[in-house]
Structure 1
């Protein structure tokens, strides 16, 4: 069977068993603790927890789930390409029961599909069942053992051989420290030529006996005190590796030939991609593996095969992720994706793809042809996938070439890679540290990893210190309670306490209704106070628990189920958040008006101090930013109404004028927020599906100012903006910064001008800082007036900075001319002597290169060693002409031998080399040793 037929056969089988075939969930996980959707059960967690009811009749489902395991706890990235079955992205076939059938049906149907329908040889199958050790949860899964035993006996096989006990690590599944859990039972396949291992390879990490299907029986709830109680509703959660199933069925010629070890890459899941890569690079794929070879010792042919496999695997991960709205970037899952793309590009170089050639986008068409029918998002988002891959690959090729050039220069000059330089390569130029490590290994060059790690940790600390997130972690609490949200129109309400829970140092108070918004959709949550029994408690935040909303108050608060409470918002916090949220909608509208209707939202954040909006686009011009600001502020000044209306999703899902976001899940009823137009008419100029809170009139926003615009990933831009008082604070700070910059630049220019005068050159003029409208920022004004202030101050700083640059260039040109003249004069005498020499001088570092160039121009055949003292450190240069090299002297080795005397380092080629040393007090000792070295 083909891969498509195997997948469809799975669907057909479970459809016969009354399962609803559901589409794969997005790779963007619903759980905040996951980087990517990494298992089939992720989308069904609410059904297992009981916070939502499964919408299927009967409550059974089957699917194929896109999964990525390339970061965090589950990370198979480094194994990809080197073995036969690990992938960053794979399909997991699964069937699910939500409180419906249990072990008998799950085990019977697994056997029926695998053995009776697909034809797996029963004697090559081994089932594992849970047997707890001392202190392990639960009890021996006798029921599962007996069910498997009956099936094996029916085939004339001994259950004591075919059923293998598994420990808590292999055969007991837990969602977390607490919550639903239970034993699992796996099917393993013996792939040895004779198939007679007797189960000895099960769970031994052998690729000759691999797990193909895992049946999880969720029957317990793990309590906080360490005990396990039976769940009232028991569930089944299964997962089968699709690529592994294809590998076994196709790689054994439908179970007739086990002489060759099956490999996922020999299936029609990957072969079409290999054919396309062959077409693009002109090389052939050979299905060979490292086996006992170390990675470094692998042959060129093997390295080429690994490159094919890595690229084929990674293009699947990249394409599916981008289709689900996960774009390569600089943090979290976006950075994992960027690493995967860069890894694919680097392996592409092994196949001959050059830095000027992009190839990843050319593989997308093959993937769409293969999987577009089962995953239609590939078809719908094909152009976005191709454009993103091309931009990101082109950008990384530039980074790679620039980084390689800088790396070579650093090695030439210093003979080693410092942690500081490696960090600068990574942080400033985006050059991956793992590539720096690889280059150092290949060239046997030392790398200071300790300093690099220290600098990375310092950067993380700075990032953590500057972060002002007010997220509350998701509490591990299941509840059937429902809380009505009345906060769209009310700042306070009376409510009744229906549940209390202690969690992580807070008392979580669930009420029947609330005015408090829970952080979601990028909007920060509310804070305020709770009044109850004559006492007042601070509400530090709110947490969504299924359909309920819990208020976080101090753990010792005197609040009990049944109490009547008063919930009062901190409006000083809510109002600015609402202003920034409505402004975000208006910004989105303005982007479509000014830039493109295709500028789609990629993420947002709304706080009381600012808003952040990510979107796909080319960089915005200054004129476009001005136009966007003008449009939004015009609408603010027009004092337009903001309203919202709850309507059936079916009524609006086809309307192109109402913003709806790809990948979002909507219920039957949706809330449309509109700016402008008539209330309840859905005729505003800005209309979006949104569950957040908003101002009632644009006048409440006050003023809108874009603070910054820049890239966060290839093809993805980020705008940050502020409204109201936060915008005023920003504007005042910008003028203050410009004023400070004016003083710094003025001082630098004055110093440079003094030096220019001293050598007879004309100084540079500079204008005065414009202060005529500075007072306007304190007293307010129109948006146009305020922008004029900002523009004038920035234009002035730019003009002043250009003057400083011109002055510096004049000085450097003069210094270079002086250094060149000095070098010619100093060398003439030494060259005429025709012997090796050591030369030391107090001068600018610029002189060193002129001295080395001078010897080259005059084709000096002997050796020379230069020490230039610039007053802060020693700059070292070595030269070895043809006669010197014939006598065994090499410039690079001279630097490496002598620089450490003064605490320095360096390196270079046999003819010329450079270095530097900080210990100026060792100059005499260094010069003496140089004389000895030159003989």
Structure 2
């Protein structure tokens, strides 16, 4: 039996034998700004198809497997994942490409040869579709007679009737367009009959059934769609094909190499997914049994029993770990914007499904190693980045788990108020999204499982209102610069040694917060790429004007002035920047480059710049990493960077074409767009980056580098702040002064401070122990007085009180009274700052009669909008609705009475 790995390799080997260059998969981060993710094999080849880039392959042929994600945006399969045998958010697309080389005949013959001779698919089960326009619907172009004739010859040669095995399709099925205008052309598809007998004679083609599915699409890019609605021939003809790898593997493996068509034919029943399923079984104790849900009366797929729910969860989790792992390995992390939020939604969907198979602690990250072991050879970026991927996913899981229970409890409370036919209100769905981080699709998923709909239109209205409020608030802080007349760019000439230049005033702009001047050229650097704008002076007509800041507006540079006077428009002036301030900025900017490279060397290549600020008095650098730096790591960073400073290496800047710069190996910031000509900053053989900022001539000019802080900005993003030069020297001297003072207070030497502190800490712990013992005695005394307030419920002694104690004291009181009450139940509630703490204790004899502290506290917690649990004798919970404490006590009383 073949493996999926061998099937993929057979595809590569076949097309390499046909003189195709094997091309690596493009990143899931697309070049096109209109795409959330790379979603098709052709994405990386679009510039070649459009003639924007010369074909780099000789001959003009390529083959690949492309990582694709279809979740969010126009192509979105997310809601179908888990409900059937073939939908995925992540998949591989096998492709072969011709760039003005071969065309229809070779493409069709290659497809037939590979499927029938290499894969050995029975020929009689294959059907080809060709384009036949429906002129009544305005379909473009003409019937694809050329493709029909090629297929007819192939089927006849193999003893098959073309009239049966060629099916015509309209624009929807057999015509491809890049957009409303631009390259387009007819396509031909291959479909396979998967019925047991295989004798449907093409009747199921394009009928949306899993008994006859499309496996390969061959697109012939031969025309251009013009703005006036007409079509003209392209000067070049290209071939773009795509075949779903998971689908091909499923057909071959599930039919036992086409010997048995009676079993389940599912993408999930292959070795692409079974290793992940096996790991899930190890983690959860559940087993996958291949069941599929049916649609309910609302048209939603809903599990009819626990096993169907388990199988849905297995499919969802296995699909989603592929999407998350490959995305993070390509530098796309879960977050709050665009594609980042799509990943966060998918991860949270997987975590929610984990709950349905009993996984309440972080588990999703544990699947990464299984996937990396399985696919790291064909996609080395996954194997290389596996630890980073695990760290990111675990961090996201932990963050969401903290709100998931609360959101589920709120949801269950809400639906308990609904009747059959009601909908989840927009206000409640918005509350879950706004307060608990529940994406709308997760709320819809939970609603479908319970047989309810969600008011999606109302939700979107509330979301738009929130966005409008945010935009309105933002507009109050932004000054519109739309009235600026100057359209010519300001030439920046501040890289040279001279700190002054002669310039002409192009425009003076008056705004609410003062005046700004635009020149034809300037030595002042405008705030860009994290580097702050220069301050300086303008000398004109015997007057001196102070520049407080320099900013960009389009291509123009605005020099903001101190005061309400400015030179005249058209006047010749001398513009100068503040030399001392610029020198400090240069030191900090070059140090930022050293820091970036040092972090990668120390922590790994997953480190990417996520933001920076280069000011005169300090530098700030944000980077991707999912755990705080240890003290020894910070020390190693400082040593490495200061070593480079002391070496006094040359800092070279070169103006290069973007392609030349990348060929040199220059580091470009992920997601940044660059002009055709870029500046490359090279520091010895250590650092090479694209950067338009200003820098020192030699690293020795930095003087000294010192990190002042390291901390978290958001999930997966860390921040380092540092200083250089005399600022760093003064910081070091002051730190030493503080240490000397501390040593004096502790009556020891500086190098023995840690030893002295440990001794004092030990003494403090001893005192704390005495304090805790005294506190325990006070708690016991208070507990004795409270016993008098116990009441009898259903023949059981019950003490149920609201008190004003913290959680730790509440716990001590409960344990003490549980022992002193004899045979009975203790329940305490306390509230502070809008939060509720609940504890419950049950005597040993009553636990044997079915009274459990965990059950008691859980029922009480639901009433106060929270959750919790514990052992049969003691349990603790929390909530956020202090006003509902009486309801919590009532629920406990009803529980005791019902036993």
Query: 5 Å matches for 1:95-134?
Result: 95-115=96-116, 117=118, 118-122=120-124, 124-129=126-131, 131-132=133-134
How far apart are the structure 2 equivalents of 1:627 and 1:699?
19
Mapped to 2, the partners of 1:713 and 1:850 lie a distance apart of: 36
Q: Which residue number in structure 1 is paired with residue 10 of structure 2?
A: 9
- What is the distance in 2 between the residues matched to 1:122 and 1:588? 60
- Which residue matches 1:889? none
3-state SS in 2 of match to 1:74 = coil
Alignment partner, residue 23 of structure 1:
24
Aligned equivalent of 1:299, options 291, 302, 305: 305
Counterpart in the other structure of 2:594:
586
- Using the TM superposition, name which of 693-702 and 141-150 deviates more: 693-702
- For the 8 Å contact 1:523–1:577, the answer to whether it is kept is no
1:301–1:235 CA distance, 2 compared to 1 (3 A): same
Question: Cα 1:824–1:259, aligned 2, differ >3 Å: closer, same or farther?
Answer: same
Q: Does 1:146 align with 2:148?
A: yes
Q: Which residue of 1 aligns with 2:547?
A: none
Query: Partners in 2 of 1:376 and 1:879 — Cα distance?
Result: 55
CA distance in 1, matches of 2:60, 2:796: 93
Paired residues of 2:284 and 2:357 also in contact (CA < 8 A): yes
Cα distance in 2 for partners of 1:517, 1:70 equals 42
Once the two structures are TM-superposed, the CA of residue 321 in structure 1 deviates from its matched residue by 3.7
Instruction: Find the aligned partners of 1:519 and 1:83 in 2 and give their Cα distance.
Output: 52
Q: 1:248 to 1:608 in 2, by over 3 A?
A: same
Question: Deviations for 1:270-303, whole angstroms, at most 9, x for unmatched residues?
Answer: 3455455556666544333335577543433333
CA contact (8 A) 1:873 1:919 kept: no
Determine whether 1:157 maps to 2:161. Answer: yes
Q: Which has the higher contact order (CA 8 A, sep 6+)?
A: 1
For the Cα contact (< 8 Å) 1:129–1:165, is it kept in 2?
yes
> Measured at CA, do residues 258 and 378 of structure 1 come closer, stay the same or move farther in structure 2, by a change above 3 Å?
same
**Unaligned regions of 5+ residues in structure 1, if any?**
471-484, 494-514, 528-537, 543-550, 553-568, 676-683, 725-779, 797-812, 887-891
Partner of 1:38: 39
Q: Do residues 258 (structure 1) and 269 (structure 2) align? A: no
Q: How far 1:238 moved relative to its partner? A: 0.9
Partner of 2:602: helix, strand, or coil? coil
TM-score, scaled to structure 2: 0.63
- 1:15-414 mapped onto 2 (5 Å cutoff): 15-115=16-116, 117=118, 118-122=120-124, 124-129=126-131, 131-132=133-134, 136=138, 138-144=140-146, 146-147=148-149, 150-151=152-153, 154=156, 155-159=159-163, 162-168=166-172, 170-197=173-200, 199-223=202-226, 228-275=231-278, 284-291=287-294, 296-327=302-333, 331-337=337-343, 340-341=346-347, 343-344=349-350, 347=353, 355=361, 359-364=366-371, 366-368=373-375, 372=377, 374-379=378-383, 381=384, 384-385=385-386, 387-392=387-392, 394-395=394-395, 398-399=398-399, 402-403=402-403
Unaligned runs of 5+ in 2: 418-427, 479-491, 502-522, 535-550, 558-574, 742-772, 850-854
Distance 1:574 1:781, change over 3 A: closer
Question: Taking structure 1 as reference, are residues 441 and 790 closer, same or farther at Cα in structure 2, changes over 3 Å only?
Answer: farther
Match of 1:508 in 2: none
Contact 1:182 1:216 in 2 (8 A): yes
Q: What do the CA deviations read for 1:716-765 (whole angstroms, capped 9, x no partner)?
A: 543365889xxxxxxxxxxxxxxxxxxxxxxxxxxxxxxxxxxxxxxxxx
Q: 1:145 to 1:704 in 2, by over 3 A?
A: same
**Distance apart, 1:181 and its partner CA:** 2.7
Residue 67 of structure 1: CA displacement?
A: 1.8
Contact 2:783/2:817, CA 8 A, preserved across alignment = no
Q: 1:292 to 1:376 in 2, by over 3 A?
A: same
Name the CA distance, whole Å, in 2 between partners of 1:570 and 1:243.
63
- The verdict on how the C-alpha distance between 1:599 and 1:193 changes in structure 2, with shifts beyond 3 A counting, is closer
Paired residues of 2:626 and 2:718 also in contact (CA < 8 A): no
1:620 matched to 2:629: yes
Q: CA RMSD in A?
A: 7.1
For residues 393-448 of structure 1, what are the alpha-carbon distances to aligned partners after superposition, in whole Å with 9 as ceiling and x for unaligned? Answer: 65466556644665688899999997798468746xxx878778877998999999
Identify if the C-alpha distance between structure 1 residues 721 and 868 changes in structure 2 by more than 3 Å, giving closer, same or farther.
Answer: closer
TM-superposed CA distance for 1:55, in Å, is: 0.9
Count residues in correspondence.
773
Secondary structure at the aligned position of 1:388 is classed as helix
| SS at 1:265 equivalent | helix
Look up the match of 2:688.
688
Structure 1 residue 97 displacement after superposition: 1.5
The 2-side partners of 1:821 and 1:399 are apart by 40
The 3-state SS of whatever aligns with 1:207 is coil
Q: 1:721 to 1:632 in 2, by over 3 A?
A: same
Question: What is aligned with 2:758?
Answer: none
